Amino acid sequence: MASSLAEDLVCPICLALFQEPHMLGCGHNFCLACLRGSLPAGQQEGGTCPECRSPFQPQEPKRNRALGNLAKKVRRWQGDGEPPGCSPAELGRFCEAHDEPLKLFCTQDQAPICVICRDLPRHRRHRFLPTRDAVQAAQGKLKAYLKHLEKHLKETAEDESDQLKEIEALKSCTDDLLGHISKEFEVLHQILRKKEEEIKLVIEKMKGENMEEMEDSLATLKVEVFSRTETVAKTKAALEETDQVAFLKGLKELMERVKEDLQGEVNYEETEEESEDHEETEEKSDDEAKEKSDKDESGEELIEDSDCEDEDDEDYEPDETERDFDRVIPVEPALEDFGESLDFETWKEMLEGIKPRQVR
């Protein structure tokens, strides 16, 4: 029954289960590809049925879906089930398309075929060997290849093992190297930080010494400014004094203060006339003092201009070049020049020029 069913589902042209079966007007069914292949080349008007030779038109063949579905089911049954009369060991020895024993081997397609497949157009002009001969020939070649394959397998396995060892060696080597680099660079960082602190300490020391001198000088100058400010104020007050007696009483102390502030910048040597007047002034009696008092009341001057004013002193202005600038402590020149001794650019170029040597 199964054999009869398979025969009804075989295309009369390719002798295989139907592939896209189409039915002609005469009722015969053929694979679409087989039907087209049966037409003469270039013929478009139609043809004749390969079985009964009845003419048909190109639009006449109709797809036989029921027959196609049935052929699919049988083909699936042949792949999944067990054909009647075949043991499991013999299941793969039959052609799926023709249910015939696979007795031949196509050397071009490198596949086993049945005698029906041999006569199909797709195997035309191919060379065939009996299945047993093909197996013996192929096994002989495989035996010769097997030794080389085993040799290659052994060598490849050894290379694989060696490569794994090298990978582990690489990891260990790089880990050790990276640790060593980090350690040594930390030492370099410590050296740089130490040098930085040493240089800063030198600068701070120079700054401290220079600052101490400047602050001492500043304190002295502040005292002098205060004293000279008082002297200037008292001098202005004396010049504005209207009481001549009061003016003369404080003149000696004021002149001593002025001379002290000027510190020898003006020559205060008394003239011979001034010396004589000074002596006369000391020898004057109380009567003379009384006489002076009377003259003062009458509007006469107490002393002559030559006795209380020095023409050389009146218009004196100290020259700017005479001022003593040594008391102003400048910034230590060595400190200003210290920065030039720190050639950072050269150091940077030296560090940037360090490159790891590539070893190949």
Mean pLDDT per 10-residue interval, the chain, length 360 residues: 65 84 89 81 72 83 86 67 43 72 89 88 88 89 90 94 95 93 93 92 92 92 91 91 89 90 62 47 50 48 41 49 66 84 86 77
Whether 179 is in a domain gets the answer no
Let me know: does 86 contact 78? Beta carbons within 8 Å: no
Whether 49 is in a domain gets the answer yes
Let me know: does 308 contact 314? Beta carbons within 8 Å: no
Residues 199-219: pLDDT tens digits? 999 999 999 999 999 999 999
Count of domains in the chain? 1
Task: CATH number of the domain at 26, please.
Answer: 3.30.40.10
Whether 247 is in a domain gets the answer no
Q: For residue 305, what pLDDT is reported? A: 43
Q: For residue 280, what pLDDT is reported? A: 52
Structural domain that includes position 6: 1-81
pTM: 0.41
Using CB atoms within 10 A of its CB, is residue 31 exposed (0-12), middle (13-18) or buried (19+)?
buried
Mean of pLDDT over the chain:
78
Whether 222 is in a domain gets the answer no
Let me know: does 47 contact 55? Beta carbons within 8 Å: yes
Q: Write out the two tokens for 238.
A: 């004396």
Whether 360 is in a domain gets the answer no
**Total residue length of the chain:** 360
Whether 126 is in a domain gets the answer no
Whether 8 is in a domain gets the answer yes
